[in-house]
A and B are shown apart, each in its own frame.
Chain A
Amino acid sequence: MDFFFDMIRMTPETFSNLMNQMIEGTWQALEIFLYTAVFSVPLGIVVAVLRESSLKPVAAVTRFYQLVMRGTPLMLQLMFVMYGPFYMFGIGMNRFFACILAFVINYAAYFGEIFRAGINSIPRGQYEAGQVLGYTRSQTFFHIVLPQVVKRVLPPIGSEFLVLVKDTALANVIAQPQLFDVAKKTSGSMVSVVPLVVAAVIYLVMSAIVEAGFHRAEQKLNYYS
């Protein structure tokens, strides 16, 4: 053990203090991750449906929204949501709320495309079979089409979730505290690479857990093809 603390040139107390801060930062990063995941996935389904709307203006507006979200830096979007309302209307934003809002509207744009591909991959005959059996349009969508879509979009959604784990670090730009913020500050104050390495390991572990979750979900849905 002494060898370990010699190697990282820290006392056990400093190391334990660092780890506490890191854990705190991890929770804060997880919070951003979870709120974004919970809200952006359902919103992504809505975006997909609106984008496929037969009302041309609705589809066009949705497409434009997706272009803006996917065509500008997320970092800039965070700044805009956090400070834009204040600069324009003098409205101060709650930092955490602004952070989640920016992440959700950004990720929903990407999820929209994934769900759109999934929805379009379901044969028309499935809708028709639902229709002739007397299901309403929404029953057909939610009970027949969507479950099949979920199975097909799991791999790309899982991939986006891994990106999101790491993108939580971008919250740094609006000074929202989280893991990367802690790593940056402590490594500077300690003049040490250790906090950066620890943060990297934590991001990797979080990613591995997310990946494992999706792997399991895929296996669970493997009972049909």
Chain B
Amino acid sequence: MYLLEANNIHKSFGETHVLKGVDLVVEEGQVVSIIGPSGSGKSTLLRCMTQLETADSGSISICGRTMTEDRNGTAVYSDKNQLRQIMLDVGLVFQNFQLFPHWSVLRNLTDAQIRVLGRKKEEAEAVARELLSRMKLSEKESAYPCQLSGGQQQRVAIARALAMSPKILFFDEPTSALDPELIGEVLEIIRDLARQHMTMVIVTHEMTFAREISDKVMFLDHGSVLAFDTPEKIFAQEAHSRIQAFLSLLNKK
């Protein structure tokens, strides 16, 4: 039983065919990394999974709920209630955090719990404080996002997503907007989540990290899956020549 199952996803923006029949399956508790050159469709794939884009064709189901079904080459989306249910099972961490600047850290973590999930204020705050302590940010609960470093903001953003108790968490290049010295603290949090068997799909350019943390790695190139396998196989010497070329290009930097 897969927690996420996507088949034959196609997506075009005007004339540009961004996703050309992508399949992705994620089992419960798995960490899947999506790597590949820029413009390969990684973010678009993630945005289709999180309903920020609509796929042109293909089928997606998350936690046993059908988001979209393929009918004669057209993606047919489920009704509003079903899509909303799926949305609540899904968390997303953005590249540039997207915290709400007018709210304190605590309110960023509690507001959706209260307004969307209908939790009591005390309960929401308890959840938020527990997460902040896991993120080692307990002393920042009354700070505003603009007073935090990039690494701290991203950790708050991860906590905000976790506060909604998602069954699967997506990361869209979570460290790409960070100064090099701040990347480590965010990756450490994600490692920690992996140890607790949080199901995660991570678009990343951090190859060492992807290799170390992932159960499966997908290599996406020009909207097609070149390989979807264990990190050992993806990063092996005898891997696909296109993957080798990409990895050696990264190593040169």
Please list the residues of chain A having a beta carbon within 8 angstroms of any beta carbon in chain B: 123, 125-126, 128-129, 131-135, 139, 143-144, 147-148, 151, 223-225
Question: In the complex where A224-B102, A225-B146 touch, is A133 in contact with B164 (Cβ < 8 A)?
Answer: yes
Measured between beta carbons, the chain B residues less than 8 angstroms from A143 are: 111, 115
Q: Are B164 and A224 in contact (CB under 8 A)?
A: no
Q: Are B91 and A132 in contact (CB under 8 A)?
A: yes
Question: In the complex where A125-B96, A128-B52, A224-B144 touch, is A133 in contact with B112 (Cβ < 8 A)?
Answer: yes
Interface centre among B84, B90, B115, B144 (most CB of A within 10 A): B115
Q: B2 at interface (Cβ–Cβ under 8 A)?
A: no
Chain A nearest CB from B162 CB (Å) reads 11
Expressed in whole angstroms, the Cα–Cα distance for A224 and B100 within the complex equals 10
Q: B182 at interface (Cβ–Cβ under 8 A)?
A: no
Cross-chain contact of B100 among A126, A128, A134, A223 (Cβ < 8 A) = A126
Q: Are A224 and B145 in contact (CB under 8 A)?
A: yes
Q: B160 at interface (Cβ–Cβ under 8 A)?
A: yes
Task: Determine the residue in chain B with the shortest Cβ distance to A133.
Answer: B112
Expressed in whole angstroms, the Cα–Cα distance for A58 and B57 within the complex equals 31
Cross-chain contact of A132 among B87, B99, B146 (Cβ < 8 A) = B87
Interchain Cβ contacts under 8 Å between A and B, 22 examples: A123-B98, A125-B96, A126-B98, A129-B94, A129-B98, A131-B51, A131-B87, A132-B50, A132-B161, A133-B160, A134-B112, A134-B116, A134-B164, A135-B116, A139-B115, A143-B111, A143-B115, A148-B101, A223-B144, A224-B101, A224-B144, A224-B146
Expressed in whole angstroms, the Cα–Cα distance for A129 and B161 within the complex equals 10
Measured between beta carbons, the chain A residues less than 8 angstroms from B99 are: 129
Expressed in whole angstroms, the Cα–Cα distance for A144 and B102 within the complex equals 8
Measured between beta carbons, the chain A residues less than 8 angstroms from B127 are: none
Measured between beta carbons, the chain A residues less than 8 angstroms from B164 are: 133-134
Expressed in whole angstroms, the Cα–Cα distance for A151 and B102 within the complex equals 9
Task: Determine the residue in chain B with the shortest Cβ distance to A132.
Answer: B92
Task: Determine the residue in chain A with the shortest Cβ distance to B88.
Answer: A134
Q: Are B102 and A125 in contact (CB under 8 A)?
A: no
Measured between beta carbons, the chain A residues less than 8 angstroms from B101 are: 148, 224-225
Expressed in whole angstroms, the Cα–Cα distance for A147 and B100 within the complex equals 10
B 149-169 binary contact with A (CB < 8 Å = 1; else 0): 000000000001100100000
Measured between beta carbons, the chain B residues less than 8 angstroms from A123 are: 98
Task: Determine the residue in chain A with the shortest Cβ distance to B170.
Answer: A132
Q: Are A129 and B116 in contact (CB under 8 A)?
A: no
Q: Are A134 and B98 in contact (CB under 8 A)?
A: no
Measured between beta carbons, the chain B residues less than 8 angstroms from A225 are: 101, 146
Measured between beta carbons, the chain B residues less than 8 angstroms from A151 are: 102
Expressed in whole angstroms, the Cα–Cα distance for A133 and B108 within the complex equals 11
Expressed in whole angstroms, the Cα–Cα distance for A148 and B98 within the complex equals 13
Expressed in whole angstroms, the Cα–Cα distance for A132 and B98 within the complex equals 11
Measured between beta carbons, the chain A residues less than 8 angstroms from B117 are: 134
Cross-chain contact of A125 among B51, B90, B98, B115 (Cβ < 8 A) = B98
Cross-chain contact of A144 among B52, B100, B144 (Cβ < 8 A) = B100
Expressed in whole angstroms, the Cα–Cα distance for A135 and B115 within the complex equals 8
Question: In the complex where A132-B87, A134-B87 touch, is A148 in contact with B102 (Cβ < 8 A)?
Answer: yes
Task: Determine the residue in chain B with the shortest Cβ distance to A144.
Answer: B100
Q: Are B94 and A128 in contact (CB under 8 A)?
A: yes
Expressed in whole angstroms, the Cα–Cα distance for A131 and B117 within the complex equals 14
17 further A-B pairs in the complex, CB-CB below 8 A; given A131-B87, A139-B115, A148-B102: A123-B98, A128-B94, A129-B99, A132-B52, A132-B87, A132-B90, A133-B161, A133-B164, A134-B87, A134-B116, A134-B117, A135-B115, A139-B116, A151-B102, A224-B101, A224-B102, A224-B144
Measured between beta carbons, the chain A residues less than 8 angstroms from B92 are: 132
Expressed in whole angstroms, the Cα–Cα distance for A217 and B112 within the complex equals 27
Measured between beta carbons, the chain A residues less than 8 angstroms from B111 are: 143
Expressed in whole angstroms, the Cα–Cα distance for A53 and B146 within the complex equals 32
Chain B nearest CB from A131 CB (Å) reads 7
Chain A nearest CB from B101 CB (Å) reads 5
Measured between beta carbons, the chain A residues less than 8 angstroms from B144 are: 223-224
Interface centre among A133, A135, A151 (most CB of B within 10 A): A133
Measured between beta carbons, the chain B residues less than 8 angstroms from A224 are: 101-102, 144-146
Those of B61-120 within 8 Å (CB) of chain A = 84, 87-88, 90-92, 94, 96, 98-102, 111-112, 115-117
Chain B nearest CB from A123 CB (Å) reads 7
Chain A nearest CB from B216 CB (Å) reads 23
